[in-house]
Copies of this chain bind each other. A is one copy, B any other.
Amino acid sequence: MSTSPVPDVQPATPATGETPLVSVGVLGARGRMGTEVCRAVDAAEDLELVAMVDERDWLFNVADAGAQVVVDFTRPDSVMDNIRFCIDQNIHCVVGTTGFDEQRLATIAEWLEPKPDLGVLIAPNFGIGAVLLMRFAQEAARFFPSVEIVELHHPNKVDAPSGTAARTARLVAAARRAAGVPAAPDATRESDSLPGARGADVEGVPVHAVRLAGLVAHQEVLMGAAGETLTLRHDSYDRASFMPGVLLAVREIGHRPGLTVGIESLLGL
């Protein structure tokens, strides 16, 4: 692949003082996340925003503009077409759109096979704090008999619990199973309880969802053992908090050929 049209997006330390900029195109550029991405790419000295594409724009614009990396925050029903197009055009993809299952991931991996230098990163969450919280919760899980999750969001949220909280619960539950931790102690008697008081059951981990005017997006993992508790809390006040993770992915994807799920590996976790 010495003739590879796939550029190395990492801005190598320039020997002669010049820094090659990475050209970035944004799909879903007028959406809430896309708008933030455009702003963040524009503000980064080592990146150049070369194309902003939204629903009624030509997808070819990103290729015409010479984008080396595309960031996709669109919709589940269009994201697969976008990825297919980018792979055909030898453009790396950083994808924050939701709706991926095993089958979709397998399809993308297949598309990538003939292009060994090309990278696609799919991340359910670009918040570095949120990803760290999940990782720490998994690591700590085996040391604590009890674990519960409380997530707190603004009242316009339609799902409960949040996707991040549900995912954290599943990861923690898996870590507990792997370590042979028995079910958490709980003497609650149904006859003395109100329905819902003990939260939603996600693979044995109770998850509580608070919806409150004034809040943004917050998550707490509480773990307890005899005489002590460990609480991990992430507060997200602003979509800006996802941008360091997105930019990190944009800068790293040229060095990560193949399909990558989540930003954990980029963080060295």
Contacts and interface: CB of A to CB of B under 8 A. Distances in A.
Given A155-B185, A202-B194, A227 B240 contact: yes
A136 interface: yes
A195 interface: yes
Contacts of A12: none
A243 B225 CA distance: 11
Q: How many copies does the complex hold?
A: 4
Which residue, A201, A216, A222, has most C-beta atoms of chain B within 10 A? A222
A244 to B, nearest CB: 7
A203 to B, nearest CB: 11
Contacts of A239: 227
B193 A214 contact: no
A73 B2 CA distance: 61
A207 interface: yes
A234 interface: yes
Given A196-B195, A212-B224, A237 B237 contact: yes
Given A197-B160, A233-B233, A241-B214, A225 B186 contact: no
A168 B113 CA distance: 46
A158 interface: yes
A35 interface: no
Interface string A181-198: 000111111001111111
A227 B212 CA distance: 10
A145 B211 CA distance: 11
Interface stretch (A86-94, A103-111, A124-132): A124-132
A144 to B, nearest CB: 7
B224 A228 contact: no
Contact of A207 (B129, B159, B197): B197
A52 to B, nearest CB: 22
17 contacts: A129-B230, A130-B228, A136-B136, A136-B232, A146-B212, A146-B213, A146-B214, A156-B187, A159-B192, A160-B197, A187-B211, A197-B200, A213-B224, A215-B229, A226-B238, A226-B241, A233-B233
Q: Give the 7 A-B CB pairs with smallest separation, nearest first.
A: A227-B238, A227-B241, A228-B241, A214-B224, A194-B200, A212-B224, A227-B240
Interface of A: 127-130, 132-133, 136, 139-140, 143-148, 150, 152, 155-161, 166, 184-189, 192-202, 206-216, 222-244, 267, 269
